[in-house]
Chain A
Amino acid sequence: MDETALIHSAQQGDLNAFNTLILHYQDAVFNTAARILGDDDMAEDASQEAFIAAFQSIRSFRGGSFKAWILRTVTNACLDELRRRKRRPTTPLEPETSDGEEMDSPKWLADKSMTPAQKAEADELEHAIQHCLDALPTEFRTAVVLADIQGMDYTEVAAASKVPIGTIKSRIARARLRLRECLRSFEELLPASFRLDSENTR
């Protein structure tokens, strides 16, 4: 696949060329959306919206990594979706205290009071990790998904998130720390090579 030629054709309005690019990147786009949103249906909608937006703004693509550019588009679509969801919440995403205040997610996930039924739901490692990802603040989750799941470098993540590299560096470090704390409660699910050291960085 001659990506540069396809991009050039798509910039001239060739939809078939752009569809070829879509077929090549749709898994990465959907995967990113699914990890950020934590919901397949929403991820599907966000992916489709992202591709439509990408085609309509492909003339603004000035070279560089097309993957980074398209992931930036889907990240924006996901953030829009999350903002919409925040404006029209259906069920509380965070558990609340008796005073009606939100509880901190990692503590909630690591809470000893988590029922066996809830633990059974998170039986699979993937579900457990997604659970921990969902518990992260949106900006931390976005940064860590782009860097660690999609393998983008800090510059690309910064460009996709429209924040300075220093901020991305900090977000990724914080996200990894929180994930480590969260995954501690799913230690038995982790492969031996990923078992965490005892708590010593608190």
Chain B
Amino acid sequence: MKNFRDIERLSAYLDGQLDAAESASMESRLKSDPELESTLRNLRSARGILRQLPQRKAPRNFTLTRQMVGLKPPLPRSYPIFRLATIFASILFLFSLSATALSPLVSFENAAAPAPAFGMGGGCEDCEGAPAQEAGPATEEAFAAEMAPAATEEALMEEAAPLEATDEARIIETPSAKEPVPETEDQAEVIEEAGASSSFNWTILFLVIAVVSGLMMWVLQFTARKRWR
């Protein structure tokens, strides 16, 4: 009985896997050891039997289709640009749309709070009366102060009458109290209109870009797929 180390070496010798020195040593042993030589014949027979096995033919062709390997048609270089444009335009469109939808709520909140800035078009409906009310008492106090000495001197009473009339006229016609109101309304309307029209235009623009880019992507894909067939 040969040990497995010998059998392993014999098998490697059979396949020409031993180096020159090992092969020479094995050959000399084979000449002097009939049992070793018999083992070699058996190993050679086993190998020969396997080698003479008929090669099995493939029962069908194993050629691959594009679907099998998940191949997609090569797209033109401009395709990623349109894809990027579609993504960005869609995001901006949604952002713009939501901003437009939320703007009335924001305006309402500003209107409820006291309008800090004059003429900013915060939707202040009382703006028309407010300056008059503010100007009113101040003018009356000044008027009262002026009238106080006039009340004690009768002589001046007559003079005071036209003065009073003049002051009243001045109070009524105070330009600083009256003039800003129509300006504020106009500005507010202009700003609102400008804001509404600009946000509307941007929304439409983003939508158009998104749709056009998306269509271009589809056309490029369709063309590439058609050409690929």
Is the CB–CB distance between B2 and A22 below 8 Å?
Answer: no
Is the CB–CB distance between A47 and B62 below 8 Å?
Answer: yes
Is the CB–CB distance between B8 and A56 below 8 Å?
Answer: no
Interface residues on A, range: 35 or more
Q: How far is the CA of A19 from the CA of B71 in the complex (A)?
A: 14
Selected A-B contacts with CB under 8 Å, 26 pairs:
A15-B69, A15-B71, A22-B61, A30-B57, A44-B59, A44-B60, A47-B62, A125-B49, A129-B53, A145-B50, A153-B17, A154-B17, A170-B8, A172-B15, A173-B7, A173-B43, A177-B43, A180-B43, A180-B45, A180-B46, A190-B49, A198-B38, A200-B38, A201-B7, A201-B35, A201-B38
Is the CB–CB distance between A183 and B49 below 8 Å?
Answer: yes
**4 tightest A-B contacts by CB?**
A173-B11, A148-B50, A30-B58, A19-B63
Besides A148-B50, A149-B53, A179-B46, 18 new A-B residue pairs in contact (Cβ under 8 A), listed by A number: A15-B66, A22-B63, A26-B61, A30-B57, A56-B69, A129-B49, A129-B50, A145-B50, A151-B51, A169-B11, A170-B8, A173-B43, A183-B46, A190-B45, A200-B38, A201-B2, A201-B38, A201-B42
Is the CB–CB distance between B8 and A51 below 8 Å?
Answer: no
Contacts of A177 in B (CB 8 A): 7, 43, 46
CB distance from B133 to the nearest CB of A (A): 80
Q: How far is the CA of A153 from the CA of B15 in the complex (A)?
A: 8
Which of B1, B41, B51 is close to A148, meaning CB atoms less than 8 Å apart?
B51
Contacts of A125 in B (CB 8 A): 49
CB distance from A74 to the nearest CB of B (A): 10
Contacts of A22 in B (CB 8 A): 61-64
Please name the residue on chain A nearest to B6 by beta carbon. A201
Is the CB–CB distance between B42 and A197 below 8 Å?
Answer: yes
CB distance from A122 to the nearest CB of B (A): 14
Counting CB contacts under 8 A, is B229 at the interface? no
Q: Which of A33-59 contact B (CB under 8 A)?
A: 34-35, 40, 44, 47-48, 51-52, 55-56
Q: Which of B1-50 contact A (CB under 8 A)?
A: 1-2, 4, 7-8, 10-12, 15, 17, 35, 38-39, 41-43, 45-50
Interface centre among B53, B61, B62 (most CB of A within 10 A): B62
Q: How far is the CA of A40 from the CA of B46 in the complex (A)?
A: 24
Q: Which of B132-159 contact A (CB under 8 A)?
A: none
